Structure 1
């Protein structure tokens, strides 16, 4: 681990970002350019003390999970992400079909969506990033272990995930997940991740196994869904799906039509925020 180079790289990446670049308010006048250390720590989900020690060349060796979080918080390109891993004495992710590193362009759009839920999801269901509104509506994925950030896995194995939706919608939603996963597996037969997810769910969920054997295929596209929130009630939201150029990551934006009850409830959800009222 090259602590001095790592510290210098982190400082330079931090100072080139403005608060607006990551969806933060400018606040009071800043004495130095860029984000504050505590803001980077907040975005990465780590303590401010831990991040400060990294910038002062005296921190412990970051875990791979922590490096991934830092790369997202600092809006690093794929090359910069790899450099961050190398400076920390780690090999960058080299997974087939993409590393799960969220593209800066998708994060840039996500950061500017303040009043509507939005999240970046891999094509086989891993939630890679979400804004505060999505965390309030769907649950904060940063509080879950990596395996439980996959929406397909949770749909078939976690009752609390199914409780997000009216019971009469469960069958349709589950079929959509299975049909999309089959399309992904066929498009990337050499990627072990969707294949492993299919094998796991076929063994654990009779419902998934039954639906998988039906061989339905459909790529996930824009849709309308109903959500159940314990505070603001039921919301019927339009789900717009924006694809990355390689189609392996999707920015999903949840909007309500003006004049509807869901529109007013979504405004209330923004006020409620993340005051321990999120589902999941």
Structure 2
């Protein structure tokens, strides 16, 4: 526990919050900016004496319940919450599961990429959002139940495993390995998540290939820079692959683009027309 840094951090966060932000009257006489110590204590459901001792670097190590109250009272961001826990000598507990909510700015980005097929995936391979061209190139994810939007489950358990790779991709073996490795890494970040442990158990029971890859304990793989989709309407579509990590949500934005002037670029252009006529987009 770093009492001095904790005290300074609490003072700094308290002084930046106006009473009106938390529903308190400003009052005629405030000698310091932000909230008073007693107001923070009231909002955090702790005694004023205890909170004062924390700000004076004299307090005992706060419990997780006290820290949760301070997070709520001081309106801390996720990064500030984690910092508070580390200063208090109580590292934050792991999140309950992979985040699924996609930021609106990311959804807007997908909609502004008319010549790029783009999807957002969770830490365990669930497709969370997509644009029209991705739906045309891969499949209409809006027509699938949530369970079937998980690409890790799909690549190991089908229904595309009977002779035809998932989306006819040229790198299905590498994709399967990469999916298993990403799931292995995610299982360490979310050790208490029923969703993660349930998916691992399901794949171990249903796929010998996954069991073999899981037993290797690999957690990283070289990125896939290029792949070919075998599309039923336009034939082979070769694309460049780029993945952007949304760090605060533990999500990936996967972008598929064709080389300018190539036959695949023309195929994507055709799919962008056909796809918007027959498919709806959902986030």
TM score, norm. by length of structure 1: 0.60
Unaligned 5+ segments in structure 1 are: 1-94
Going from structure 1 to structure 2, the CA distance change for 1:247 and 1:157 (only over 3 Å counts) comes to: same
Going from structure 1 to structure 2, the CA distance change for 1:102 and 1:247 (only over 3 Å counts) comes to: closer
Q: C-alpha distance in 2, partners of 1:105/1:221?
A: 25
- 1:71-220 alignment, distance < 5 Å: 96-160=96-160, 162-166=165-169, 169-218=171-220
Match of 1:74 in 2: none
**How far did residue 245 of structure 1 move?**
2.8
Maintained 8 Å contact 2:181/2:220: yes
Maintained 8 Å contact 2:156/2:176: yes
**How far did residue 206 of structure 1 move?**
1.3
**How far did residue 170 of structure 1 move?**
2.4
Is 1:226 aligned to 2:247, yes or no? no
**How far did residue 104 of structure 1 move?**
1.4
Question: Residue by residue, what CA displacement relative to the aligned partner does 1:75-99 show, whole Å, maximum 9, x if unpaired?
Answer: xxxxxxxxxxxxxxxxxxxx71354
Q: C-alpha distance in 1, partners of 2:127/2:265?
A: 24
Q: C-alpha distance in 1, partners of 2:136/2:263?
A: 18
Q: C-alpha distance in 2, partners of 1:128/1:235?
A: 23
Maintained 8 Å contact 2:132/2:279: no
Maintained 8 Å contact 2:157/2:207: yes
Which structure has the larger Rg? 2
Match of 1:259 among 258, 261, 270: 261
- 1:32-51 alignment, distance < 5 Å: none
Unaligned 5+ segments in structure 2 are: 1-94
Maintained 8 Å contact 2:115/2:257: no
The alignment's C-alpha RMSD in Å is 2.5
**How far did residue 258 of structure 1 move?**
0.9
Total equivalences in the alignment: 184
Q: C-alpha distance in 1, partners of 2:262/2:159?
A: 29
Question: Residue by residue, what CA displacement relative to the aligned partner does 1:22-78 show, whole Å, maximum 9, x if unpaired?
Answer: xxxxxxxxxxxxxxxxxxxxxxxxxxxxxxxxxxxxxxxxxxxxxxxxxxxxxxxxx
Going from structure 1 to structure 2, the CA distance change for 1:271 and 1:155 (only over 3 Å counts) comes to: same
Higher relative contact order (CA 8 A, sep 6+): 2
Q: C-alpha distance in 2, partners of 1:243/1:205?
A: 28
Q: C-alpha distance in 2, partners of 1:246/1:174?
A: 25
Match of 1:235 among 234, 237, 242: 237
Q: C-alpha distance in 1, partners of 2:111/2:190?
A: 30
SS in 1 for 2:134: helix
Q: C-alpha distance in 2, partners of 1:100/1:170?
A: 25
Going from structure 1 to structure 2, the CA distance change for 1:274 and 1:203 (only over 3 Å counts) comes to: farther
